[in-house]
Amino acid sequence: MYKVLTVAITLSLSVVYALAEPSGEKAGGIESKDYKWNTQSAEKTMALKLAGDVKAGQEDYKAYCAACHLASGGGNPDGSIPQLAGQHSSVIIKQLADIRSGLRTNPVMYPFAIKLPDAQALANVAAYIETLCVPRDSGKYEGPESTQLIAYGKALYDRECVQCHQANGDGIKEKLYPVIAGQHYKYLLRQMIEIRDGKRRNSHPEMVRVIAKYDNAQLVAIAAYQAMLATRMQKLTTQPHFCKPV
Question: Quick check: 47 pLDDT over 70?
Answer: yes
Give dist(CA 122, CA 74) in Å, integer. 19
Percent of the chain with pLDDT over 70: 79
Which residues touch 123 (CB under 8 Å, ≥6 apart)?
47, 48, 50, 51, 52, 53, 57, 89, 93
**Average pLDDT across the chain, whole number:** 85
| pLDDT, tens digit, 9 for 90 and up, residues 150-202 | 999 999 999 999 999 999 999 999 999 999 998 999 999 999 999 999 999 89
DSSP-based three-state secondary structure for 27: strand
Predicted local distance difference test score (pLDDT) of residue 9 = 53
What kind and span of H or E run contains 156? Answer: helix 146-156
Question: Quick check: 112 pLDDT over 80?
Answer: yes
Task: Over range 124-134, report the average pLDDT.
Answer: 94
Give dist(CA 38, CA 209) in Å, integer. 16
Under 8 Å between Cβ of 21 and 105: yes
Q: What is the pTM of this model?
A: 0.85
Question: Quick check: 3 pLDDT over 70?
Answer: no
Task: Over range 241-245, report the average pLDDT.
Answer: 57
| pLDDT, tens digit, 9 for 90 and up, residues 63-99 | 999 999 999 999 999 999 999 999 999 999 999 999 9
Question: Quick check: 126 pLDDT over 70?
Answer: yes
3-state secondary structure 170-192: CCEHHHCECCCCCCCHHHHHHHH
Domains of the chain by start residue, with CATH: 6-236 (1.10.760.10)
Question: Quick check: 37 pLDDT over 70?
Answer: yes
pLDDT band at 7 (very low <50, low <70, confident <90, very high): very low
Which residues touch 2 (CB under 8 Å, ≥6 apart)?
9, 217
Provide the residue count of the chain.
246
CA-to-CA separations, 64 to 56, 103, 109, 112, 239, in angstroms, rounded: 13, 21, 10, 6, 29
Cα-to-chain-centroid distance, residue 27? 20
